Amino acid sequence: MLRLLLCLLLLLALTAPLVADKRDDGVITDQVRRRLFADPNVKGYTVEVETKDGVVTLTGTVETEKARAKAEKLAKKVSGVKGVVNKLRVEAPRPK
């Protein structure tokens, strides 16, 4: 019985960091999205945010290089972010 308990504790100790990392990635993604939405230079653009192991990937389109750089800067400021991969494309607005 004691061996079984020790095995279970060992299993929990080994898998707990994996669960914590996934939860942290979700929190980071939410915080980055909130910062992007609140910023007047970036708000309104189609920016997708994904986080894996603390590395944030930004994809989508913005209309200016300033907005592209600002999105990356905002993402880097979020606690827990280890790096940012900026795949945002700068595209001029399409005529209506």
What's the chain's length in residues?
96
pTM score of the predicted model: 0.74
Largest interatomic CA distance in the chain? 72
The pLDDT assigned to 17 comes to 54
CATH 3.30.1340.30 for domain 22-90: yes
pLDDT digits (tens, 9 = 90+) for 30-88: 999 999 999 998 888 889 999 999 999 999 999 999 999 999 999 999 999 999 999 99
The pLDDT assigned to 44 comes to 83
Going from N- to C-terminal start, the domains of the chain cover 22-90
14: enclosing H helix or E strand:
helix 2-38
Q: What is the CA radius of gyration of the chain?
A: 19
